[in-house]
Structure formats: C-alpha cells, structure tokens
Structure 1
Amino acid sequence: MLPVSFDEYQKAISDLKRGNSASLDDISTNLLKKISGVIYEPLAHVINTSIKNDVFPDLLKKAKIIPIFEIGEAQDPNNYRPIALLSPLVEVFENIMKYRLTSFLEKINFFRSSS
C-alpha cells in the first residue's frame, strides 16, 4: 500500500465534523484541524507504520465514556446510555482507510448494477 499523501491526509482532516469534545488524549476535532499542518509528518508516519505492520496503535483504542441522560429520574443510572469518545486521530485513520477501500472497490467495479 502506498504511503499516506498530504492530499489524502488533508481530505481526511477536512471531513472531520467540528467539535470541542475532547477524548482521553484531550484532542478535540477543532484542535486537530488547527494543528493538522504541523502534525502531518508524525501522524502520517504512525498511520503508514500501522498499515505496513497491520497493527492499530493501542493508545488509539481507548475511549472516554460519557453517560447521556435519556428519560425518567436523573438519579437512576438505568436512565443513561453510554457514548464513547474516541480520539479524532482515529477518525482520520478511518477516513483514510475508507477512501482507499472505496477507491479499490470502485476500481474493480464492485458497485456495478447486476441487472
């Protein structure tokens, strides 16, 4: 697989939804968008090494769990559902892999109509 290009990386960053919620690494998507040019080389290195070695970094597998109130009594823990906040770095990685997989599937005509 080819190394991550700057254009591919920039598209993955620009496709992130803006937000101030920070994960365990205290990085929000807004912050990531602001520093994306500065961290391109080290982040591309991590992504390329991960792809090359078929290993996803353990630190990016951790999430901050936030309870979201649904309905009923606020004191009852059963009235909350958990959401997991992953690092936006995970979403950058996922976006890059999604673009590559979609491009490959289109190239082999995977989505063509069978009728």
Structure 2
Amino acid sequence: NSHFLHIAEKTLEKNNGIIRTFLPPVQPTLQQLINLRETNENEVRTIINNLKSKNSSGLDEISSKILKFCPEELALPLVDIFNKSFRSGKFPSALKLSKVYPKYKNGSYLDPSNYRPISLVSTFSKLSERIVSE
C-alpha cells in the first residue's frame, strides 16, 4: 500500500518542471463553478436503473446491485441530497473517499511496481457524477 500512496509524489518530483511548463494554473470563473443544474426523481431513478449490477462497493459497502432493488424509495432522498450539494457547491466528504486495492499486472508478484491501483468509489458518488455529466 505504501507504494501506491507515494506514486503521485514520486511522479511529481521527477516531472515537476515539465508539469509546471505545460500546465499553467487554471482558475475557473464563478459562472463555471455554479453552472450545476438540479436533478429530479425521474432522472435519479433512471440512472439507478441503468447502473451495471455489480457487487463491488466503496467504503460505504453499498453496491449498485443493492440500489437497484429500491430505486423508487431512494429517488426522493437522493434528489434532496444531490440538489442541496449542487446549490451549496459542496460535495459530501464521505463520498470523496474510495477503497484502493492493488491489481496485479505482470512480472514478479513480489515487486510492488507490477501492480496498479484500483479505486472503488461509492455508488452514490457515481450517481452524482452521472447527474453532473448529463
């Protein structure tokens, strides 16, 4: 796990000059920051029903398979949560967390660089992302 925790830091150290040269800081305008539209029950139900039925889950241990059993009951509470988040411009901290585990690529099983990190985000976070992207 230590290997994956420090990959970003090592990459930045190696490429700091390159990253600063090619990626100037971008400051979003206020209009870009507040351009989130609100959602509704129908959209949330549709997104839940269109999720792939998987057993995998984030730290909350709630899979898409579980959500698909009760889209009618979850739609209104989720609409309230998502719309409040969109209006306030704040995303719930719990939905920012993910489970990370190493997935073997190839080579020696003992070499940490032969694994890539896999992040499992909360299904609720995925719902929010889909609403924003549509």
TM-score by length of 2: 0.68
Q: Which whole-Å CA distance do the structure 1 matches of 2:105 and 2:37 have between them?
A: 45
Note the aligned Cα RMSD (angstroms). 1.5
Task: Indicate conservation of the 8 Å contact 1:16/1:29, yes or no.
Answer: yes
Larger Cα-atom Rg: 2
Q: State the identity %.
A: 34
For residue 104 of structure 1, what is the aligned residue in structure 2? Answer: none
Q: CA deviation at 1:2?
A: 5.9
For residue 116 of structure 2, what is the aligned residue in structure 1? Answer: 81
For residue 71 of structure 2, what is the aligned residue in structure 1? Answer: 36
Q: Which whole-Å CA distance do the structure 1 matches of 2:70 and 2:60 have between them?
A: 15
Amino acid in the other structure paired with 1:18: S
For residue 47 of structure 1, what is the aligned residue in structure 2? Answer: 82
1:23 to 2:58 alignment: yes
For residue 20 of structure 2, what is the aligned residue in structure 1? Answer: none
Amino acid in the other structure paired with 1:26: E
1:13-65 Cα offsets, whole Å, 9 max, x none, are 12212211121000111111113222222211110100110111111000000
Q: Which whole-Å CA distance do the structure 1 matches of 2:104 and 2:43 have between them?
A: 38
Amino acid in the other structure paired with 2:91: F
Specify every segment of 5 or more residues in structure 2 that has no aligned partner in the other structure, as ranges.
1-35
Specify every segment of 5 or more residues in structure 1 that has no aligned partner in the other structure, as ranges.
100-115
Name the SS of the counterpart of 1:66 in structure 2. Answer: strand
Q: Which whole-Å CA distance do the structure 1 matches of 2:46 and 2:76 have between them?
A: 15
Amino acid in the other structure paired with 2:128: F
**Mean Cα deviation higher: 49-58 or 71-80:** 71-80
Name the SS of the counterpart of 2:60 in structure 1. Answer: coil
Residue of 68, 80, 87 corresponding to 2:103 = 68
**Mean Cα deviation higher: 8-17 or 23-32:** 8-17
Number of aligned positions between the proteins: 99
Q: CA deviation at 1:83?
A: 1.0
